[in-house]
Amino acid sequence: MSLLAPSAEDPSPAGISPTEPADSRAHLLNNATAARYRAAVTESVARVSARIAATDRPFTGISVEGLTPTVAAVDLEAPLHDPAAALDELEEVYLRDAVYFHHPRYLAHLNCPVVIPALVGEAVLAAVNSSLDTWDQSAGGTLIERRLIDWTAGRAGLGEHADGIFTSGGSQSNLQAMLLARDEACRRELTRDGAPAGARLTDVLPRLRILTSECSHFSIRKSATLLGMGAEAVISVPADEHRRMRTDDLTDELARCHRDGLIPMAVVATAGTTDFGSIDPLPEIADLCVRYGAWMHVDAAYGCGLLVSRRRELLDGIERADSVTVDYHKSFFQPVSSSAVLVRDRSTLRHVTYHADYLNPRRMAERRIPNQVDKSIQTTRRFDALKLWLTLRIMGAGALGELFDEVIDRAADAWKLLHDDPRFEVVVEPQLSTLVFRYVPATGPDPDVIDQVNLHARDALFASGDAIVAGTKVDGRHYLKFTLLNPETTLEDIATVLDLIAEHAGSYLAERPEPALSAR
């Protein structure tokens, strides 16, 4: 029998058949419907846990064309009036064909398996539904988020004046950091000694520049566009053979800005690039930012797990940043979304502070009532901090660090495997847990054929559902990518996936008319 069937002990709403319409208020969570809520959530958890327990590959391989008719056939104007039936339907339109990041052969993007304490937090925060914009909507939630910001800033070494706010993800964190950097640069330029009389904001904005590595995240360019500066305001700095920003080129670009009357508003250093996991030379970049008066932002969305790792020294220099992006939903094993932007000087957050009489009037700030909306570019915000709070209280930071260290160790072993395998070439030895590589046929066909081989192998592997890998471009050519964030992924799993890639590549080559293009 369904767990959602009414029982004698169920005080809410008595006598309602699960197949008949209920009073609409019976679906609201309150003291009268608590038992119904418990039964519904219990059944949904049972369904998901059963699906996860039975999952033997990360994906079914279903195509867009194969799944679209199933979803389109659902009549949203005809409710089922039965939670169990709705979950049955959900199995068909979502759960059966979802991509399961917990599977050890999911090796594609920066999606992590999640820890159970965080899922407990997710269940609690969704039910209570606190909004973290003001104290009178969240109370203890406000204090918990503030403690976690202080804890993270402390791990980063940002000092006693640091602050920050939880965000929806790294892109939003980067956007807010660039907004703060822009407004600080404008303030300094308009108030400095010798500033032209009558200078206006419109005189300054066209001169602002953001300098960042050619390997940095695309959200930096998107942020420049959203902030009205245009993508052309971003100066791309070359990377070295390890895909780290070249500080000699950065020096040249900063000097050129100075000569041309441009303002280096910010330098964005990356601590864990999306493709290569490379970490820019933070101490040297910090020195240059001081020399040229530029805001230093560290995008540590990926590498933030090093804050709790035995490899913490890889982030040396981050303590000198003016702002830092952290994505707990990457290397802290948290469910999406869980991210934050940190600042070394809390006063810079004033650039996003606006007061509304109905929400956070100035008198509240004067009374030191902690309204988090004063620091955020969002208003309504979920209590995502609760997931990290329960994770730290149940597991501890050291346990999270061990998980991240384990995937970094696995990536180092996988690099050796790839480096020694004549079927593949690997771009760089990883600092974190990503590997960029490609299949190269024995006879070494032309680059266009190699591109097609690797594109086909990735698509065929995805369609099989046996494993999922990512793809990217290096110097204009197509490569494959492993992103290791699952401690359950073994070297044997990786070796098996490499064999599958080679098998799909070989099949593609065998179907080509040129006999010289056979695989090893």
pLDDT tens for residues 260-307? 999 999 999 999 999 999 999 999 999 999 999 999 999 999 999 999
φ/ψ of 124, rounded to 5, equals -70, -45
Same fold, 131-387 and 398-517: no
Distance CA 52, CA 103 (A): 9
Residue 332 three-state SS:
coil
Contact 150, 370 (CB under 8 A): no
Task: Please give the torsion angle defined by the CA atoms of residues 56, 57, 61 and 67, in that order, rounded to the nearest 10 degrees.
Answer: 60
For 378-392, what is the mean pLDDT? 98
Amino acid in position 134: T
Round to whole Å and give the CA distance between 166 and 340. 4
Average pLDDT over residues 394-398: 98
pLDDT at 517: 44
Query: Can you tell me whether residue 217 is helix, strand or coil?
Result: coil
> 460-517, pLDDT tens digit by residue?
999 999 999 999 999 999 999 999 999 999 999 999 999 999 999 999 999 876 544 4
- As a whole number of angstroms, the distance between CA 444 and CA 436 comes to 19
Helix (H) or strand (E) holding 190: helix 170-191
Q: Where are the domains of the chain?
A: 131-387, 398-517
pLDDT at residue 518 above 60? Answer: no
**CA 183, CA 205: separation in Å to the nearest integer?**
10
* SS3 assignment, position 237: strand
Q: Which residues of 169-180 are buried (b: 16+ CB within 10 A; e: fewer)?
A: bbbbbbbbbbbb
- pLDDT tens, position by position, 151-188: 999 999 999 999 999 999 999 999 999 999 999 999 99
CB 403 within 8 A of CB 333: yes
Please write the tens of the pLDDT for every residue from 29-80: 999 999 999 999 999 999 999 999 999 999 999 999 999 999 999 999 999 9
The proportion of the chain whose per-residue pLDDT surpasses 70, expressed as a percent, equals: 93
8-23: pLDDT as tens digits: 444 444 334 455 556 8
CA–CA distance, 297 with 269 (Å, rounded to integer):
6
Identify the residue whose tokens are 């706010």.
165
**Contact call for residues 33 and 13 (beta carbons, < 8 A):** yes
| Mean pLDDT for the chain overall | 93
**Residue 206, number of CB atoms within 10 A of its CB:** 12
Q: Which of 205, 170, 212, 175 is nearest to 187 (CA)?
A: 205
- Model pLDDT, residue 445: 72
- Taking residues 357-367, report their average pLDDT: 91
Asked whether residue 221 carries a pLDDT value surpassing 90, the answer given is: yes
CATH architecture of 398-517: Alpha-Beta Complex (3.90)
pLDDT digits (tens, 9 = 90+) for 67-115: 999 999 999 999 999 999 999 999 999 999 999 999 999 999 999 999 9
pLDDT exceeds cutoff 50 at 1 = no
Question: Can you give the pLDDT at residue 22?
Answer: 61
Instruction: Tell how strand 339-343 and strand 163-167 pair up.
Output: antiparallel
Class of domain 131-387: alpha beta
- What amino acid is encoded at 273 in this protein? T
Per-residue pLDDT at 17: 47
Average pLDDT estimate for 444-462: 93
pLDDT at res. 514 = 59
